[in-house]
Chains A and B, each alone.
Chain A
Amino acid sequence: MYRYDEFDHKIVTDRVNQFRGQVNRRISGALSEDAFKPLRLMNGVYLQLHAYMLRVAIPYGTVSSKQMRMLAHIARKYDRGYGHFTTRQNIQYNWPALDRIPDLLEELASVEMHAIQTSGNCIRNVTADQYAGAIADEIEDPRIISEIIRQWSTFHPEFSYLPRKFKIAVTGHENDRAAIKLHDIGIVIVKNDKGETGYEVHVGGGQGRSPFIAKKLTDFVPAKKLLAYLEAVMRVYNMLGRRDNSYKARIKILVHETGETEMRRLVEEEFAKIDASQMLSLPEAELDRISAYFAPPNYENLPAQSDAFEAAKEGNPEFSHWVKTNLVPHKTPGYGIVNISLKPIGGIPGDATDAQMDVIADLAERYALDEIRVTHEQNLVLPHVKLDEAKEVYDILCAHDLATPNIGLISDSIACPGLDYCNLANARSIPLAQEISTHFADLDKQYDIGELKIKISGCINACGHHHVGHIGILGVDKKGTEFYQISLGGSADEKASLGDITGQAFTEDKVVDAVDTIVETYLNLRQPEERFLDTYRRVGMDPFKEQLYAD
């Protein structure tokens, strides 16, 4: 894992002190709420329906057990005993008091964490594949370049007042788990035909009111030139992005209105100038320095097959189920990647209590080489667990309600905060996710249905990624009552697609039935081995529509 040096410490500490001054000026009245807004936003402090909310950055979703313990401590001391892991691999606290936030940030800084640029119209926390460094067939650990991007983009003097927020995601694997095509910039690590490693850059993806899949602007930029390339994209956007209407201000609209070819030309032109100045060419020594932090940990030399593990599966069907859904093969023989579901049946997607966070921290320390990951699907990961010890880990997870065997299944849904917390919401999201997961609680049924990603947003801003849900659910407002529009066939992976709307929206009391109808229709139509998404792509909307709107 990356560790701060004196420079990193200084930058984060200066920021805490600066924010303390800003909060003092706000509390004394010297700063109006209006003028305070951009400052608190840039420090991750939002004003929600009931209170301020604080979003803490978890760069590329990686935390140590020490950091996880701090997140638990903060939940206990400054909040109501829980935190909420978000789709941006961050954690959010819903109830901190404004005057205590500077102290909170100081405590975070002591474990090399911060809330910098987790909101506001700046370059946000960089996200990456949660299996980075642990999965087989990765070209390069995406956290290396993500950390470099984190540093380059932190307090970037030119790009802190962009037309709109800006999100960058990185994957180093051909299976995209970071939804890079739905980001303002998505980076895929690739090898060229000379065998050199470089970066493919996609620009202009996004969700919200008008969703777009990103366009590939370049096939290959070497590491040394990547910051120059990114700076070129950012400058073109900062100069030409619209600022007249916040819904038209994302780079996706610029790319769409300018056209892919012209956008590429503009970026290339800017890139040529920056590149010629050499100002941003990344020193080899810095790339090496940061890479060294992400060198593989000290794995033990183990046989690929673990007898203890096989025996435990034999003897315990529940464990065996959990293994099937929640344990992913590791690149190293004798290890596995453990997914911890934060979607207990009927629970709030992404929430974890302070006690659970402490347990996970202990598990990471004892069994997982001290690392934890946060996934964009609002779950956690212990990336390096010995198969010999998987059953022990499982037993402890079970004891803390953290072993729901549902990763990728219908009850593993994403939901935005919705009407329970958010002042832009049309409808509730969390209670709907809870109802759906309760409705499909039966595990045998869930296994039968197989991979099915439900994503729920309380309004068109799409924080819950409904556009890319296999089943997407969107809260819409009709004369003050909550309605839900359903879409089918979205996907956020390397074959990203946007869902198609089924038709008329459903009332709150009909929406779970509608999901049930969709699932039944799929079960009737599917061919062997077909996932929901495959069936939908094969048969299209009509059969689903027929069943949904039969009477």
Chain B
Amino acid sequence: MPTKTHLIANGAVVDDTWVFIDDETPLGDTPAIISLDRLKAEADTLRSRNAKLGVVIRTNTQGKTKLGEDVRELSPYLDMLTTIAIDFPVYRNGRGYSDARILREELGFKGELRAIGEVLFDQWSFMARCGFNTFEIDSSIPVKAFNEALNELSEAYQPAVDNQRGVLWRRHGL
């Protein structure tokens, strides 16, 4: 897990105005990312809060039956959310790629989708294709390396959330 990260959006390092707030700490009126449990428990009061709200979806790598939080539980709350952060506890755990596509394609979430946790060089382009648009990465990695990695594979066979239609379709002008 990187110790120090910076946030990349639209190919540049950006200021991160968001703060992750744990379940015990009261929320101020600055942009806050909270847990799914807290969102569900406090949804009514949160609706009238006057600041941007985000949520983090966690995956449990050790779970036998509880594999992680279910993004579909977010569907009643999506209009309240500006940001959804999806945690990759280890790069090998690729559940978050499906979370992202479900949010974008099934639930129609249009806001910021942020990849956090073990978010490594060789995963970025797949994450971007699945609908992530911001990335918390190790701050020692220059943004140039990030942008290059995103373009290493220039074609894709299959459709995903980005606007590449997939070669199987593009061959026929679809």
Chain A complexes with chain B: yes
Query: A residues near B, CB below 8 A?
Result: 5, 7-8, 10-11, 14-15, 17-18, 21-22, 35, 38-39, 121, 148, 151-162, 227, 235, 238-245, 248, 273, 277, 279-280, 282-283, 285-286, 289
Residues of A within 8 A of B167 (CB): 7-8, 11, 151
Other-chain contact of A283, B152, B153, B154, B174 (Cβ < 8 Å): B174
Rounded to whole angstroms, the CA-CA distance of A277 and B129 in the bound complex is 17
Contact B154 A238 (CB under 8 A): no
Question: Which of A11, A22, A227 sits near B153, CB closer than 8 Å?
Answer: A11
- Asked whether, in the complex, the Cβ of A15 is within 8 Å of the Cβ of B153, the reply is yes
Q: Are B67 and A242 in contact (CB under 8 A)?
A: yes
Report the Cα distance A480→B167, complex, angstroms. Answer: 53
* Structural contact, B105 and A244, CB atoms closer than 8 A: no
Q: Are A244 and B62 in contact (CB under 8 A)?
A: yes
Given the complex, which residues of A lie within 8 Å of B93, measured CB to CB? 161, 243
Complex Cα spacing A5 to B171, Å:
10
28 contacts between A and B (CB under 8 A): A7-B170, A17-B152, A21-B152, A35-B120, A38-B92, A38-B122, A151-B167, A155-B156, A155-B157, A157-B129, A157-B156, A157-B158, A158-B97, A158-B98, A158-B126, A158-B130, A159-B94, A240-B67, A241-B67, A243-B61, A243-B63, A243-B67, A280-B158, A280-B159, A282-B168, A285-B171, A286-B168, A289-B172
Q: Which residues of B contact A148 (CB under 8 A)?
A: 168
B95 CB contacts on chain A under 8 angstroms:
238-239, 243
Given contacts A14-B154, A157-B130, A279-B159, contact A285 B98 (CB under 8 A): no
**Chain B minimum-CB-distance residue to A156:** B158
How far does the Cβ of B153 sit from chain A's closest Cβ, in whole Å?
5
Q: Give the contacts of B99-122 with A (CB-CB under 8 A).
A: 99, 101-102, 105-106, 120, 122
- Chain B residues with CB below 8 A from A8, complex form: 167
Task: Please name the 5 residue pairs, one residue from A and one from B, whose CB atoms are nearest each other, closest first.
Answer: A161-B94, A157-B129, A157-B126, A151-B157, A7-B167
Given contacts A286-B171, A286-B172, contact A238 B63 (CB under 8 A): no
Chain A, Cβ-Cβ closest to B67: A240
B68 to chain A, nearest CB (A): 9
Report the minimum CB–CB distance from B138 to chain A (whole Å).
11
Interfacial chain A residues near B155, Cβ < 8 Å: 7, 10-11, 14
> Contact check: which of B91, B159, B174 meets A161 at CB < 8 Å?
B91
CA of A148 to CA of B171, assembled, Å = 13
* Least CB distance, A26 to chain B, in whole angstroms: 12
| A15 contacts across to B, CB distance below 8 A | 153
For B120, the chain A residues whose CB sits under 8 A away are: 35
**In the complex, B169 has a CB within 8 A of chain A:** yes
A155 and B130 contacting across the interface, CB-CB below 8 Å: no
Q: Which residues of A contact B130 (CB under 8 A)?
A: 157-158
Interface string of B55-83 (1 = CB under 8 A from A): 00000011110010000000000000000
Choose among A14, A21, A161, A289 the residue with the greatest number of B CB atoms under 10 Å from its CB.
A161
A17 CA / B106 CA spacing, docked (Å): 35
Does B123 make an interface contact (CB < 8 A)?
yes
Q: Select B98's contact among A5, A239, A242, A248, beta carbons within 8 Å.
A: A239
A11-B167, A38-B91, A155-B157 known, 6 other contacts, Cβ within 8 Å: A11-B155, A152-B158, A159-B97, A160-B97, A238-B98, A244-B61
- Residue of B67, B102, B125, B154 near A10 (CB, 8 A) is B154
Task: Say whether B9 faces chain A, with CB atoms less than 8 Å apart.
Answer: no
> With the chains together, A523 CA to B61 CA distance in Å?
53
Indicate if B143 sits at the interface (CB-CB under 8 A).
no
How far, in whole Å, are A117 and B127 apart by their CA atoms in the complex?
18
Max count, chain A CB within 10 A of own CB: residue among B153, B160, B172: B153
| Complex-state Cα separation, A298 to B174, whole angstroms | 33
| B67, A285: Cβ atoms closer than 8 Å | no
Give A162's nearest chain B residue, CB to CB: B94
Q: Given A10-B154, A14-B153, A243-B67, verify A151-B91 contact (CB < 8 Å).
A: no
* Interface residues in B14-43 (C-beta closer than 8 Å to A): none
Let me know if B67 and A239 touch, CB within 8 A: yes
Whether A157 and B169, one on each chain, are in contact in the complex, defined by CB atoms closer than 8 angstroms, is no
Give chain A nearest CB distance to B72 CB in angstroms: 10
- How near does chain B come to A114, taking the closest CB pair, in angstroms? 13
Residues in A with CB closer than 8 Å to B92 are 38, 121, 161, 243
Q: Which of A18, A22, A160, A238 contacts B126 (CB 8 A)?
A: A160
* Residues in A whose Cβ lies below 8 Å from that of B63: 242-244
Within 8 A of A (CB), among B135-174: 152-160, 167-172, 174
Question: A14-B154, A158-B98 given as contacts; is B169 within 8 A of A283 (CB)?
Answer: yes
Inside 8 A of B105's CB, which chain A residues have their CB?
A: 277, 279
Given the known A-B contacts A282-B168, A283-B168, are A161 and B123 also in contact in the complex, defined by CB atoms under 8 Å?
yes
